[in-house]
Structure 1
């Protein structure tokens, strides 16, 4: 089935968001965002979504006051991707995101006297062109991922990744037999 209704729905939905909530919402072409895609934006945030952006299932994009989110052309988001911006998140052209990927350019401040505070620390997140971000990856503030990178499933990224790199996060699995014990 051709996605005509979905395209029409997206045009209507995002034009209403632009008119009523966020004047700085720009969609540069046809997008096939899933019906469950949620755009939670502040009126001063800037959102730019490129051509041929596709999301399957639920995708949440949060842009707080004065935050900037830029998504390039031909980007694919799988189920349950979340983008949370308080400062700046940039995603290059041709990137693909597996299920349950989370991108945060912010983190709560905390201290030993008061615990977690409502204030945040922030840092840019920049993802280059043609990157594959696999399932359950978490990208944190300060991450810069070069072009043509592969970030393997389950990684936590918070630093510079040079272009054309494959990132894995080794986790040793320990298997111990159950011993019979008297209780």
Structure 2
């Protein structure tokens, strides 16, 4: 297996691999160029972001935006990422339709071994993240490796989401926990 194949399979891989280094470099050049463009150049900026991410219709990213590769981010229709979004996409990050990220939302599929000897080897691994449809993630929230958020989830500002949650819940805190179930009576 190549290092990229290991990375995408969730196995330990060498991030210094030339193929991976080149792909990260390409992503950085692309998002740095997009982030530097003014509002007058929004069409060009949107085209650059769309060249990084596999997205449906109406992807909207407010700069600055950062990612590892971009190519491992799969976004649905009508996805909005506000200022300061960072997605570490060493594993696949799947984002559903009608998803909103408030400022400074972080999605980290990248992780490291807990064992110090393994961690000091320089190898890494990743765990995929899945965000369902109609999800709203509040500002300064962090979604950790391996998390799945169901449909219609609301994540309170400043939350650290370390585990998966089902549909129709409001979660908040560090670590995030269910605050309430969403009902048809909620606005």
Same fold (TM over 0.5): yes
**Does the CA contact (< 8 Å) of 2:59 and 2:78 recur in 1?**
yes
| Residues paired across the two proteins, number | 137
Q: 2:56 aligns with which of 46, 50, 60?
A: 50
- From the two aligned structures, give the one with the greater helix fraction: 2
Aligned to 1:168: 172
1:48-77 CA-partner distances (Å, limit 9, x unpaired): 12211112221112228xx62101111111
Q: Which runs of 5+ in 2 are unaligned?
A: 1-38, 176-187
Given candidates 90, 106, 109, the residue that maps to 1:86 is: 90
Structure 1: which 5+ runs fail to align? Answer: 15-25, 28-38, 40-46, 172-183
Relative to structure 1, the CA distance from residue 152 to residue 130 in structure 2 (aligned partners, 3 Å threshold; closer, same or farther) is same
Q: Distance in 1 between matches of 2:43 and 2:172?
A: 36
1:120 aligned to which of 116, 124, 129:
124
Q: Which has the higher contact order (CA 8 A, sep 6+)?
A: 2
Alpha carbons of 1:6 and 1:152: their partners in 2 closer, same or farther (altered >3 Å)? Answer: same
Instruction: Check the 8 A contact 1:84/1:105 in 2, yes or no.
Output: yes
Q: Highest CA radius of gyration, 1 or 2?
A: 1
Please give the alpha-carbon distance, in whole angstroms, between the structure 2 residues aligned to 1:117 and 1:7: 43
C-alpha displacement of 1:113: 4.8
- The answer to whether the 8 Å contact 1:108/1:117 transfers is no
TM-score (norm 1): 0.65
Return the TM-score normalized by structure 2. Answer: 0.64
In the alignment, which residue of structure 1 is the partner of 2:151? 147
The residue aligned with 2:68 is 62
Aligned-pair RMSD on alpha carbons? 2.5
